[in-house]
Amino acid sequence: AKSNPSVEKADVLVVNGHRIQFVKTARNPADLPWGKLGVEYVIESTGLFTKKTQAEGHIKGGAKKVVISAPASGGVKTIVMGVNEKEYNPSSHHIVSNASCTTNCLAPLVHVLTKEGFGLETGLMTTIHSYTATQKTVDGVSMKDWRGGRAAAMNIIPSTTGAAKAVGEVIPSTKGKLTGMAFRVPTPDVSVVDLTFTATRDTSIKEIDAALKKASATYMKG
């Protein structure tokens, strides 16, 4: 792709001497020249092609694998690193979802709680979430709900989140046991997850903290 018709060659991004070719955007992923460019792995981060049938367009364009950087639908396998990446099957999982940022925060925590034997009878997750590109800079119309139409940088906006449901897909033993809500807050970066849960056995804050610290230094390190 050329940023200006007058330039002689297509634009490239140079990173440590490695030249990365720019491509012209397309409404249909199948029209992107991945095969011609030798691209094998595509990160689908537009937020527009999260259904399996849509993401398959990248495969038709010549890519071999697609990672969707958002919750996906249509039978796409969801993988959260440190939690269920061993379930990945390279021979059949050509399109996978890396879930949402909130799911990547919540799933490792729930994974440790279940792995270390605390169990999870029920839980409520609340995320204090920075505003995103889907929100409005000034008050306007929102297709999702009226609250979502409020100016992002001036309001705390209650919203929904699919992270709790997604964790149930990644950790099947917790399916149907978690629920959650979100508050979109007027900050451009940094979000936090708060989890309140009922364990299946007696425990203490001290014991839970010790288990999380142990996990961070061993099987959850990195």
Distance of CA 77 to the CA centre of its chain: 13
At residue 154, what is the residue type? M
The H or E element containing residue 172 is none
37, 101, 211, 220: the catalytic one is 101
105: annotated active-site residue: no
End-to-end CA distance of the chain: 37
DSSP secondary structure, 133-144, as one string: TTSBSSS---SS
Cα–Cα distance between 102 and 99 in angstroms, integer?
8
CB 124 within 8 A of CB 196: yes
Q: Report the 10 Å Cβ neighbour count for 157.
A: 22
Q: How far is CA 90 from CA 65, 93, 94, 128, in A?
A: 9, 5, 7, 35
Which residues have a catalytic role annotated? 101
